[in-house]
Amino acid sequence: MIIDGMADRPLEELGGKTPLEVANTPNMDQMAKIGINGIMDPIKPGIRPGSDTSHLSILGYDPYQVYTGRGPFEAAGVGVEVRPGDIAFRCNFSTSDEDGIIIDRRAGRIREGTSLIAQKINGINLEPGVEVIFKESTGHRAVLVLRGEGLSDQVSDADPKHEGKVPKEIVALDDSEEAQKTARILNELVKTSYEVLKDHPVNLERMKNKENPANIILPRGAGAVPEVQPFHEKYGLKAACIAETGLILGIGKITGMDLIEAEGATGGIDTDLNSIGRCIMDTATRNYDFILINIDGADESGHDGILKEKVDFLTRVDSVIGQVMQLEDVIFILTADHSTPISIMDHTGDPVPLIIKGPALRVDDVEQFSERAAAKGGLCRIRGSDVMNIVMDLTNRATKFGA
């Protein structure tokens, strides 16, 4: 179970403590007491991980080999059946005026009607032999996949990053023909998207209601879908992924896990933690050897720099831990994918705390779950890439190295 962005740095306003140290977490503390504790560098000491690269590393995939960008994972996470070699992008539905100036990068934070708009772009024919797959994600977000011969992910972004500017021209980032072809198709797509969307019924309705229309598509974050050995093949474990965000569901999807979405999961601090708890307990009774769980809210409050929200969320997550503590005969690992310190409002490379609970462990004398308490535990300091080896060993599935 990965509590996204849970770990933090000491804060003056907490008397030098971290949010996790002040949050009231009796169940996590109990787990620390009966488990082995340690700290983990998700990738390497000092490397600031993304959620995606960290999860890959913890699952035993080398992110320096398999990670090509966020696009492929986002696309897989919203249910596009991506294939190795596809070029995937994250996109915004944005608002362009008649002169081509982007007046709202998020199209009035549109929430409804995007699937109807996406249907107009999906399957659009821009170049023979290149399939355009386009699907809405949450809110103003969407994903684009280009499939065909002779494409490249070495292309720049269209998103101008600020309102009041025209979309950036997408350019090839190397001198390959593939990159030039891909850039050409993308520029064509941006232009065409305005033509086919400006009078879309959903947009006419929005304009009538004085809302910004979603009348242009701005792609960014190109990545080639990597070849990834399925998790069940790598470890012989039938796996499920319970996650809230498209990015983490995409990690589950690309590694071949079954995706399970809990009702009421929002990926924010308003998520339905009771429902997530029930979903975990229900999934645990099904025929899985391994379950990856990601709960996202603490990361959000870290990015927003809102201390009270982070402490409250960690306090509430503790009840989910209380539920899963009841599972017997499982190896349970509680950790984070990175620190998202309130003071930094982004991910940092500080190591994260980790507990392993299960039968017949060499329990240590740590009695609290926190960044500092965990550092005194019996597991000492490990890397994300050690986690699956430890799981395979503790569940007696590992094979001996040597004679």
Instruction: For residue 299, state whether it binds Zn ion (rule: CB under 5 A).
Output: yes
For residue 292, give both structure tokens. 């990856």
C-beta of 4 vs 8, nearer to Zn ion:
4
Instruction: For residue 18, state whether it binds Zn ion (rule: CB under 5 A).
Output: no
The dihedral through the CA atoms of 293, 338, 366, 12 has a sign that is negative
Neighbours of 98 (CB within 10 A): 7
Instruction: For residue 8, state whether it binds Zn ion (rule: CB under 5 A).
Output: no
Contact window for Zn ion (CB under 5 A) among 203-211, 294-302, 360-368, 380-388: 294-302
C-beta of 299 vs 386, nearer to Zn ion:
299
Residues 6+ apart with CB under 8 A from 179: 152, 154, 155, 172, 173
Q: Which residues sit opposite 136 in a β-bridge?
A: 142
Instruction: For residue 4, state whether it binds Zn ion (rule: CB under 5 A).
Output: yes
Q: Tell me which residue has its CB nearest to Zn ion.
A: 51
Instruction: For residue 244, state whether it binds Zn ion (rule: CB under 5 A).
Output: no
Binding marks (x or -) toward Zn ion, 49..68, rule CB under 5 A? Answer: --x-----------------
The full DSSP string for 43-69 is: SSTT----HHHHHHHHTT--HHHH---
C-beta of 29 vs 299, nearer to Zn ion:
299
C-beta of 30 vs 51, nearer to Zn ion:
51
For residue 380, give both structure tokens. 């000492």
Least separation in angstroms between CB 217 and Zn ion: 25
C-beta of 3 vs 197, nearer to Zn ion:
3
Instruction: Cite the beta strand spans of 29-171 per DSSP E.
Output: 36-41, 87-96, 102-104, 130-136, 141-148
C-beta of 36 vs 249, nearer to Zn ion:
249
CA separation for the pair 339, 348 (Å, rounded): 5
Q: How far is CA 273 from CA 68, 167, 182, 372, 389, in A?
A: 32, 40, 42, 26, 30
C-beta of 180 vs 343, nearer to Zn ion:
343
Sole residue written with tokens 């998103």: 159
Least separation in angstroms between CB 63 and Zn ion: 13
Least separation in angstroms between CB 259 and Zn ion: 18
Q: Using the rule CB under 5 A, which residue among 337, 350, 364, 371 binds Zn ion?
A: 337
Contact window for Zn ion (CB under 5 A) among 47-55, 96-104, 123-131, 361-369: 47-55
Which residues in this chain contact Zn ion in the complex, by CB under 5 A?
Answer: 4, 51, 299, 337
